């Protein structure tokens, strides 16, 4: 007998009663007590000077991890409340309470980092040899290195304070500018006034005239305000470069590479491999243009559907499909996912007042995860569900690891999720009921490759060149347009009939102040996980144990060491990246051959 999996998640096992929960209230009060005690300890903490101080450092770390787990537990829970019902006002209040607690925690954390950087090198080496600290070697060294890259405590705190209005508020101004834009587009014979987000969603509309008009109206709007956007972008980059200069960093990539724990050579090898393998994707773009009855593909047709996937799966069918495919990879992934379905870890119901999109969040004290999405029965929903289960499996894999050793960077964050999604997406293509269905599923995969290898590459090229020019002075809107067009021509290897000059104004990612170069980690994560996937296909069912070991190490070593230790691969070499790309090339070629007869 098959059990029916619940479509609504169970949050009551965490804290009963939602945003009115008494248990949650008590938990938050306890968080304040724990945090205050930690702040006190940090305040009185003395810079460790000899190996005898190891125990004191270990105690501090233990207390720190306790506070972190406590805060994450409530933070994640409140995030779930906010997502399941955007009208939950009480949850909104709890959220601001939680975020002010985590800001307090961050302050103490920075103080600790600074203190640890003051220990003499010799004493530091001795300290790390002590049993009580050995498992934290990687993160402790990283904290210390980070603190050393910075200016003095006083100067850094001045930068942070000035950054609120002088830096981050440019990013908020950007949101305000974009929020003011409305464009009028005629959709299905009706003239509609649309926000930027709504107009962007029309990029995959089945009517070519709608796609073209929404693109053109948006481009007009960006042009209209281009000087404001140019001012904003120049100010953000200017603040960043000036800070870097004071800290003595001359490469704008230094910070993003450090955050992602990877080397410049690795990044160069990745883009190098991508650049020399673009032709199959250019051929795909050409073919797509033909399918749309055009000579060459325009920017605004990149997301156009060539055929529609019509296959529908009930939630139960989707879940069973995922479990079956996971089972072919390994028993632990299958059992884990089954438990997530059975125990109500997943919120999938299609109902009003839910936030759009999907996420997976971990609850460290309960050692559970919760997955949020809206399931409406398409194959792409099934893939999203598998993706989020992959994230949850990553958290599960990290359970035996100390909680301070679980913070992985953005570039490896998508490894387990993309991996799980790939298992399901590949199986879906193989199981397709018709040729049309197969084409639609394949296209979905190839479109993603175009995004990672071409679109994101062009963003990276643009940003790198823009920063170089910005060092010499303000870069006017007209020049930003030129730089963007050049970057797109190169990124898409000349595969498009037209470019999008104001893309730099339209893409929020360029204006995120908290994360510099919000682009290459996506491509890295995707290709890295493809290589892990290629390895899994090669090694068969015995691979799962190795896979779990890799996931466990994602937060305690550099990207280079991780790949060397678990895959035996040198990721500073192009040859590594080419293996993942080869899998994508197969999809592009299959798409072209399946659609050739029809073009």
Task: Give SS3 for 372.
Answer: strand
Nearer to Zn ion, 54 or 409 (CB): 409
Q: Name the residue with the smallest CB distance to Zn ion.
A: 417
CB atoms within 10 A of CB 539: 12
Nearer to Zn ion, 417 or 572 (CB): 417
- Edge-first strand order for the sheet with 368-372 is 346-347, 368-372, 359-363
Nearer to Zn ion, 307 or 418 (CB): 418
Q: Which of 299, 303, 304 is nearest to 218 (CA)?
A: 299
Q: Which of 348, 295, 247 is nearest to 496 (CA)?
A: 295
554 binds Zn ion (CB under 5 A): no
Q: Taking the complex as a whole, how short is the minimal distance between the CB of residue 98 and Zn ion, in angstroms?
A: 22
Q: Taking the complex as a whole, how short is the minimal distance between the CB of residue 410 and Zn ion, in angstroms?
A: 10
Task: Give SS3 for 360.
Answer: strand
Contact 423, 386 (CB under 8 A): yes
Task: Give SS3 for 529.
Answer: helix
Question: x/- site string to Zn ion, residues 413 to 432, per CB under 5 A?
Answer: ----x---------------
Nearer to Zn ion, 61 or 371 (CB): 371
- The 3-class SS string of 415-449 reads HHHHHHHHHHHHHHHHCCCCHHHHHHHHHHHHHHH
- In angstroms, the CA 74 to CA 459 distance is 36
Nearer to Zn ion, 417 or 529 (CB): 417
Residues 231-260 that bind Zn ion (CB under 5 A): none
> Residue 145 corresponds to which tokens in the numbers above?
């290195």
Distance of CA 544 to CAs 97, 330, 332, 520, 533, Å? 41, 6, 8, 28, 11
Nearer to Zn ion, 309 or 417 (CB): 417
Nearer to Zn ion, 282 or 416 (CB): 416
Q: Taking the complex as a whole, how short is the minimal distance between the CB of residue 95 and Zn ion, in angstroms?
A: 22
Task: Give SS3 for 13.
Answer: coil
Nearer to Zn ion, 143 or 522 (CB): 522
Residues 566-585 that bind Zn ion (CB under 5 A): none
- In angstroms, the CA 426 to CA 424 distance is 5
- The 3-class SS string of 176-224 reads HHHHHCEEEEEECCEEEEEEHHHHHHHHHCCCHHHHHHHHHHHHHHHHH
Question: x/- site string to Zn ion, residues 379 to 418, per CB under 5 A?
Answer: --------------------------------------x-
Q: Where are the alpha helices (DSSP H) in 473-518?
A: 477-491, 503-506
Q: Taking the complex as a whole, how short is the minimal distance between the CB of residue 10 and Zn ion, in angstroms?
A: 22
Q: Taking the complex as a whole, how short is the minimal distance between the CB of residue 417 and Zn ion, in angstroms?
A: 4
Q: Taking the complex as a whole, how short is the minimal distance between the CB of residue 76 and Zn ion, in angstroms?
A: 16
- String of DSSP letters for 102-149: HHHHHHHHHHHHHHHHTS-HHHHHHHHHSHHHHTTHHHHHHHHHHHHH
Q: Taking the complex as a whole, how short is the minimal distance between the CB of residue 77 and Zn ion, in angstroms?
A: 20
Nearer to Zn ion, 31 or 424 (CB): 424
Q: Taking the complex as a whole, how short is the minimal distance between the CB of residue 385 and Zn ion, in angstroms?
A: 12
Q: Taking the complex as a whole, how short is the minimal distance between the CB of residue 414 and Zn ion, in angstroms?
A: 5
Q: Taking the complex as a whole, how short is the minimal distance between the CB of residue 526 and Zn ion, in angstroms?
A: 10
- In angstroms, the CA 538 to CA 567 distance is 12
Q: Which of 397, 402, 557 is nearest to 66 (CA)?
A: 402
Nearer to Zn ion, 391 or 470 (CB): 391
Q: Taking the complex as a whole, how short is the minimal distance between the CB of residue 391 and Zn ion, in angstroms?
A: 6
Q: How far is CA 285 from the centre of its chain?
A: 26
Element (H, E) at 370: strand 368-372
- In angstroms, the CA 206 to CA 503 distance is 22
Residues 138-197 that bind Zn ion (CB under 5 A): none
> Residue 263 corresponds to which tokens in the numbers above?
């080397």
Task: Give SS3 for 362.
Answer: strand
Q: Taking the complex as a whole, how short is the minimal distance between the CB of residue 349 and Zn ion, in angstroms?
A: 21
> Residue 218 corresponds to which tokens in the numbers above?
């948006």
- In angstroms, the CA 197 to CA 199 distance is 5
For strand 346-347 and strand 182-187, is the pairing parallel, antiparallel, or unpaired? unpaired
- In angstroms, the CA 247 to CA 328 distance is 51
Nearer to Zn ion, 144 or 391 (CB): 391
Nearer to Zn ion, 291 or 416 (CB): 416
Q: Taking the complex as a whole, how short is the minimal distance between the CB of residue 453 and Zn ion, in angstroms?
A: 18
Number of residues that bind Zn ion (CB under 5 A): 1
Nearer to Zn ion, 255 or 414 (CB): 414
Question: x/- site string to Zn ion, residues 514 to 553, per CB under 5 A?
Answer: ----------------------------------------
Nearer to Zn ion, 360 or 461 (CB): 360
Q: Taking the complex as a whole, how short is the minimal distance between the CB of residue 321 and Zn ion, in angstroms?
A: 20
- In angstroms, the CA 301 to CA 296 distance is 10
Sites of contact with Zn ion (CB under 5 A): 417
């Amino acid at each position: 007998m098959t059990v029916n999996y619940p479509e609504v998640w169970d949050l009551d096992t965490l804290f009963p009663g939602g945003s009115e929960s008494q248990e949650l209230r008590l938990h938050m009060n306890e968080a304040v007590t724990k945090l205050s005690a930690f702040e006190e300890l940090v305040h009185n903490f003395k810079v460790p000077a000899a190996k005898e101080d190891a125990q004191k450092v270990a105690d501090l770390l233990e207390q720190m991890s306790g506070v972190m787990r406590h805060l994450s537990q409530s933070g994640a829970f409140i995030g779930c409340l906010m997502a399941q019902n955007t009208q939950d006002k009480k949850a909104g209040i709890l959220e601001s309470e939680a975020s002010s607690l985590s800001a307090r925690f961050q302050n103490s954390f920075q103080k600790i980092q600074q203190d640890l950087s003051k220990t003499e090198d010799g004493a530091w080496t001795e300290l790390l040899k002590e049993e009580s600290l050995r498992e934290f070697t990687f993160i402790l060294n990283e904290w210390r290195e980070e603190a050393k890259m910075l200016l003095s405590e006083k100067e850094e705190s001045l930068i942070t304070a000035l950054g609120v209005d002088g830096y981050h508020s440019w990013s908020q101004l950007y949101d305000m500018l974009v929020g003011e834009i409305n464009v009028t587009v005629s959709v299905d014979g009706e003239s509609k006034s649309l926000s930027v987000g709504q107009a962007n969603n029309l990029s995959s509309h089945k009517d070519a005239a709608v796609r073209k008009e929404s693109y053109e109206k948006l481009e007009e709007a960006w042009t209209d305000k281009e000087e404001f956007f140019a001012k904003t972008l120049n100010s953000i980059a200017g603040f960043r470069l000036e800070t870097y200069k004071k800290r003595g960093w001359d490469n704008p990539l230094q910070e993003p590479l450090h955050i992602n724990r990877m080397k410049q050579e690795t990044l160069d090898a990745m883009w190098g491999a991508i650049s020399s393998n673009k032709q199959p994707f250019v051929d795909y773009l050409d073919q797509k243009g033909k399918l749309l009855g055009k000579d060459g593909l325009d920017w605004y047709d990149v997301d156009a559907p060539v055929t529609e996937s019509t296959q529908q799966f009930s939630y139960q069918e989707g879940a069973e499909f995922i479990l079956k495919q996971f089972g072919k990879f390994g028993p632990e992934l299958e059992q884990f996912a089954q438990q997530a379905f059975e125990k109500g870890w997943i919120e999938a119901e299609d109902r009003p007042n839910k936030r759009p999109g999907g996420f997976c969040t971990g609850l460290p004290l309960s050692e559970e995860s919760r997955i949020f999405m809206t399931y409406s029965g398409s194959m792409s929903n099934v893939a999203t569900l598998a993706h989020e289960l992959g994230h949850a499996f990553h958290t599960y894999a990290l359970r035996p690891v100390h909680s301070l050793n679980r913070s992985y960077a953005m570039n490896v964050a998508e490894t387990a999720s993309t991996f799980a999604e790939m298992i399901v997406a590949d199986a879906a293509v193989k199981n397709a009921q018709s040729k049309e269905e197969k084409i639609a599923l394949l296209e979905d995969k190839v479109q993603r490759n175009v995004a990672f290898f071409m679109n994101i590459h062009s963003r990276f090229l643009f940003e790198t060149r823009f920063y170089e020019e910005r060092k010499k002075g303000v870069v006017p809107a007209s020049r930003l347009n030129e730089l963007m067009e050049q970057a797109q021509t190169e990124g898409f290897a000349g595969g498009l009939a037209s470019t999008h000059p104001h893309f730099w104004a339209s893409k929020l990612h360029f204006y995120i102040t908290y994360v510099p170069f919000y682009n290459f980690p996506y491509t890295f994560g995707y290709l890295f996980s493809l290589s892990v996937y290629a390895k899994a296909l090669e090694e068969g069912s015995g691979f799962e144990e190795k896979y779990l070991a890799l996931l466990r190490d994602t937060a305690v070593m550099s990207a280079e060491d991780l790949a060397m230790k678990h895959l035996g691969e040198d990721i500073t070499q192009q040859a590594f990246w080419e293996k993942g790309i080869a899998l994508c090339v197969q999809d592009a070629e299959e798409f072209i051959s399946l659609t050739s007869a029809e073009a």
